[in-house]
């Protein structure tokens, strides 16, 4: 039966709307670029591994990124490999972000990086590209880059990244509004390490239309109502949330409660270089640990295409494929 479920998950057209390109770097590419340094995958790939802190997780990830992303070409090489992998897993739509903090620390040209990611998109996969900015990322050095970024034709949107407890300056509401005025889609990481109040803040003050994680919205029924009323989807990453101790056990994962509140949810891998996960593992976790049926998993996939920033014709085309798969018998 588990094999039937795995086959169903594989066959299901899927989306991945919460993926950091630096955190998606394939291990083999990191190894190839650093002979002798990364001999075996990290301990954090083991299923029961838990990170002690977000700071440790982030510093380890930035170490990998610093050892690889030396140029826009490296972003292209990484993106090409990531997109080929997702296409082979029947992912049809992706949203990937690249970090302004990496542009800053590695002295890279953001527009070239953005164009390099766009050039790596294969036929059959729709990809939207986001620039992620840390809470304290709008520095005097980065300000001109971030302002100019809103004119880059290959940039589809912006996202708020990094440690949530770092104070967010007055610049943010204005910048998020400027992004929308420039035709960019806006989202934000929230409700991962800070509580539901921060989710409310990014909805009301930043005006975002999608939340990355948002798991801790569950702590405040009024915030659940807000998300439900406005139809703001949550791009959830169950394995990331488990390994970073946002939730204690898979059984505690509140995905069904969000669905019951009328909040659209999608699932993604977040940073697979740190968690050792792939998109099919995320679906399988819902099936094995939360007893999601094939129809419920298909609904998650449908949600991903419903929120996708693609035209209605393409959307309906893929949704009819998902609909046909609902006849699949698992038992």
- Least distance CB 266 / Zn ion (angstroms): 13
Which residue reads 């909805």 in tokens?
A: 203
Question: 76: which residues sit within 8 A by CB, 6+ positions away?
Answer: 116, 117, 119, 120
3-state SS, residue 222: helix
Maximum CA extent, the chain: 59
Q: Which residue is nearest to Zn ion (CB)?
A: 270
Q: Which CB atom, from 120 or from 160, has the smaller least distance to Zn ion?
A: 160
Please tell me whether residue 77 binds Zn ion under the rule CB under 5 A: no
* Number of residues engaging Zn ion in binding (CB under 5 A): 1
Residue with smaller CB distance to Zn ion, 131 or 318: 131
In this chain, which stretch among 99-107, 254-262, 269-277, 304-312 interacts with Zn ion, using CB under 5 A?
Answer: 269-277
Close Cβ partners of 146 (under 8 Å, ≥ 6 residues apart): 100, 131, 133, 137, 138, 175
SS3 for 136-203 is: CCCCCCCHHHHHHHCCCCCCCEEEEECCCCCCCCCHHHHHHHHHHHCCCEECEEECCCCCHHHHHHHH
Q: Which one, 247 or 330, has the nearer CB to Zn ion?
A: 247
> By CB under 5 A, is residue 192 in contact with Zn ion?
no
Report the nearest approach of Zn ion to the CB of residue 82 (Å). 15
List the one residue out of 12, 20, 13, 6 whose CA is nearest residue 213.
20
Report the distance separating Cα 51 and Cα 60, nearest Å: 11
Active-site entry in 58, 77, 192, 282: 192
270 near Zn ion, rule: CB under 5 A: yes
> Is 192 assigned a catalytic role?
yes
Residue ranges of E strands in the chain: 14-20, 91-99, 126-134, 157-161, 185-186, 188-190, 211-213, 234-236, 265-267
Query: Residue 159 Cβ, how far from Zn ion at the closest point, in Å?
Result: 8
Residues that bind Zn ion (CB under 5 A): 270
Give catalytic residue positions: 192
């Amino acid at each position: 039966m588990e094999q039937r479920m795995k086959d169903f998950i594989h066959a299901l057209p899927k989306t991945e709307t919460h993926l950091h390109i630096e955190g998606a770097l394939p291990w083999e590419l990191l190894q190839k670029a650093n002979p002798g340094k990364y001999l075996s995958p990290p301990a954090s790939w083991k299923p029961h591994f838990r990170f002690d802190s977000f700071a440790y997780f982030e510093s380890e990830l930035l170490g990998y990124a610093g050892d690889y992303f030396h140029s826009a070409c490296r972003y292209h090489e990484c993106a090409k490999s990531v997109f080929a992998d997702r296409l082979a897993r029947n992912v049809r739509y992706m949203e990937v972000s690249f970090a302004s903090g990496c542009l800053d620390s590695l002295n890279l040209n953001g527009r070239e990086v953005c164009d390099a990611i766009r050039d790596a998109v294969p036929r059959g996969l729709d990809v939207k590209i986001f620039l992620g900015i840390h809470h304290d990322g709008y520095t005097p050095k980065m300000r001109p880059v971030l302002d100019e970024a809103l004119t880059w034709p290959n940039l589809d949107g912006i996202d708020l990244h990094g440690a949530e407890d770092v104070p967010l300056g007055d610049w943010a509401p204005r910048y998020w509004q400027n992004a929308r005025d420039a035709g960019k889609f806006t989202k934000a990481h929230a409700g991962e390490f800070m509580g539901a109040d921060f989710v409310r803040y990014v909805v009301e003050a930043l005006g975002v239309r999608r939340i990355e994680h948002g798991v801790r919205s569950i702590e405040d029924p009024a915030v659940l109502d807000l998300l439900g009323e406005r139809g703001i989807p949550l791009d959830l990453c169950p394995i990331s949330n488990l390994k970073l101790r946002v939730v204690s056990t898979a059984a505690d994962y509140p995905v069904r409660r969000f669905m019951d509140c009328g909040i659209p949810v999608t699932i993604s891998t977040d940073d697979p270089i740190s968690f050792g996960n792939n998109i099919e593992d995320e679906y399988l976790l819902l099936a094995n640990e939360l007893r999601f049926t094939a129809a419920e998993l298909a609904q998650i996939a449908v949600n991903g295409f419903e929120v996708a920033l693609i035209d209605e014709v393409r959307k309906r085309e893929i949704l009819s494929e998902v609909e046909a798969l609902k006849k699949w018998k698992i038992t």
